[in-house]
């Protein structure tokens, strides 16, 4: 099927209450929030539907990438980059990262549990933001950006368009995907809201697996891992308390659930 995004669906309200700046460009609507002079731009991803996962004959497909199934999503906001070390430091007062040579490097060496603490403090700093993790389905929808290929830039890996094997690079160092989102392939793994588990074959609307048990979803691959791990559909699951220098996050306004089981 052809992925569909309903570009007529406007966020309500716009600009959002938390926005310090907003506008429209070649990628669509954006809004920014700010903490201690550190700004983060977010993109509005309009409601749409897509096929999540990899078809059975897909190259390098893993069993946990199927069955491929139709997903319909409501509109949502998503940061256009991974969370930077500068933003984490502004919110938390420290920088846990391993590679600290640039403030716009993505923050890493953070666990899912660490990120929950970060979201709680961020939301205190920016009233109305209600930031949390994107769901796994939201993440893949955003990564694919209307494409059906292994990567948002095509079926073959292109080292000029994704950071594999070059250590961490500052966010927005590489060209964005068709929806204006940077480094969805490679650089660092990004935690998602969902508990790690198998897909269901039936069509779903706004799916999210409760984070029961010890597995949490990571997406996107990293600079350390091979290109096959950076495919749009590749899935990874790890303990929510695990902190290594390859794990980071991407902020999704409107996704905070303070009672979420951890």
Residue 3 scores a pLDDT above 90: no
Q: Using CA of residue 151, residue 153, residue 157, residue 159, what is the dihedral sign?
A: negative
Confidence band, pLDDT 50/70/90 cuts, at residue 4: low
Provide the pLDDT confidence category of residue 262 given band limits of 50, 70 and 90. very low
What's the rounded mean pLDDT across residues 124-149?
Answer: 98
User: What's the CA gap between 255 and 44, in Å, rounded?
Assistant: 14
> Tokens at residue 52, please?
């999540």
CATH class belonging to 12-248: alpha beta
Reported as a pLDDT band with limits 50, 70 and 90, residue 189 is very high
- Averaged over 76-84, what is the pLDDT? 98
183 has a pLDDT exceeding 50: yes
Local confidence band at 257 (pLDDT 50, 70, 90 cut-offs): confident
Mean pLDDT of the chain: 94
- Give the 3-state secondary structure of the chain: CCCEECCCCCCCCCCCCCCCEEEEECCEEEEEEEECCEEEEEEEECCEEEEECCCCCCCCCCHHHCCCEEEEECCEEEECCCCEHHHHHHHHCCCCCCCCCCCCCECCCCCHHHHHHHHHHHHHHCCCCCCECCCHHHHHHHHHCCCCCCECCECCCCCCCCECCCCCCCCCCCCCCCCCCCCCCECCEEEEEEECCCCCCCCEECCCCCCCCCCEEEECCCCCCCHHHHCCCCCEEECCCCCCCCEECCCECCCCCCCCCC
Amino acid 70: pLDDT: 98
Both tokens assigned to 203:
């069509």
pLDDT at position 254 is 96
The tokens for 235 are: 């899935």
At 252 the pLDDT is 98
By mean pLDDT, which of 7-11, 63-67, 91-95, 136-140 is the weakest? 7-11
């Amino acid at each position: 099927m052809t992925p569909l995004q309903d570009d007529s669906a406007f966020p309500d309200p716009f600009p959002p209450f938390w926005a310090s700046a907003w506008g429209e460009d070649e990628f669509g609507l954006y809004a920014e929030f700010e903490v201690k002079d550190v700004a983060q731009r977010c993109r509005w991803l309009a409601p749409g539907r897509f096929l999540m996962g990899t078809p059975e004959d897909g190259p390098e497909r893993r069993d946990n990438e199927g069955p491929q199934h139709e997903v319909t999503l409501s509109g949502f906001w998503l940061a256009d980059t991974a969370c930077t070390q500068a933003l984490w430091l502004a919110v938390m007062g420290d920088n846990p990262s391993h590679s600290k040579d640039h403030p716009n490097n993505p923050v890493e060496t953070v666990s899912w549990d660490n990120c929950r603490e970060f979201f709680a403090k961020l939301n205190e700093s920016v009233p109305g933001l209600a930031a949390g993790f994107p769901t796994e389905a939201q993440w893949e929808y955003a990564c694919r950006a209307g494409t059906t290929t292994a990567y948002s830039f095509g079926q073959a890996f292109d080292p000029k368009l994704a950071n594999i094997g070059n250590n961490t690079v500052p966010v927005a160092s590489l060209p964005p995907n068709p929806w204006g989102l940077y480094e969805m392939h490679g650089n660092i793994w990004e935690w998602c809201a969902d508990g790690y588990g198998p897909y269901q074959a039936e069509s779903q609307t706004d799916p999210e697996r409760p984070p029961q048990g010890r597995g949490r979803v990571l997406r996107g691959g990293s600079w350390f891992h091979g290109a096959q791990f950076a495919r749009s559909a590749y899935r990874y699951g790890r303990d929510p308390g695990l902190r290594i220098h390859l794990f980071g996050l991407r902020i999704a306004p409107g996704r905070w659930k303070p009672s979420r089981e951890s």
